[in-house]
Amino acid sequence: MKSTIHEHQKNNFTTVSKNVFLALLLFVGITAMAQEKKERRPEREKLTTEQKVDLQVKKMTQDLSLNDKQVKEVRAIVTKQVEKREEKRAEMEAKKAEMKIKKAEMKAKMTEEQAALTTEMKKVLTPEQFTKWEKIREEKKANVKEKMKERRGKKDSKELPND
């Protein structure tokens, strides 16, 4: 009886070990494929417009068995499409850079305004009142930050600028 229990435990351990090994193997395989896919993408973005067109037309020619006339017409269509896409991408990059600059300018302006507000309040309030006011202000800022976190669904959102 004792040997049967021991063999049963040994079989369970072997089965569990096999399952763990298979899960690990599957995980490593999926991770490797995902990384390979990520690494291929930048290579494609480095291609010239003409290379992108050639690649796309070649694939379509193979997949659809295009004749010479169709290849010529498809090349013209694909060239237009790739050029439009690259124009849009360039526009988006420019807008993104512009927004980054505007955001930095707005942040600097807000920081200036907050500093001016703090200076004005310091002139009016007693030291005790000013300390209490700053504490209340920090609490409000923390609440706003928490609400933004919840809205975005992120656990660690970017820090808000200090006053």
| Structure tokens that stand for 27 in this block | 């995980």
What pLDDT digit, counting tens, does each position of 8-66 carry?
Answer: 565 666 776 777 766 766 767 777 777 665 555 556 568 899 999 999 999 999 999 99
Percent of the chain with pLDDT over 70: 74
Q: Which of 69-73, 88-92, 149-153 has the lowest mean pLDDT?
A: 149-153
- Return d(Cα 87, Cα 80) in angstroms, integer: 11
Predicted TM-score (pTM) above 0.85 = no
Question: Phi then psi for 39, rounded to 5 degrees?
Answer: -70, -30
- DSSP, res 66: -
Give the contacts of 44 (CB within 8 A, at least 6 positions apart). 52
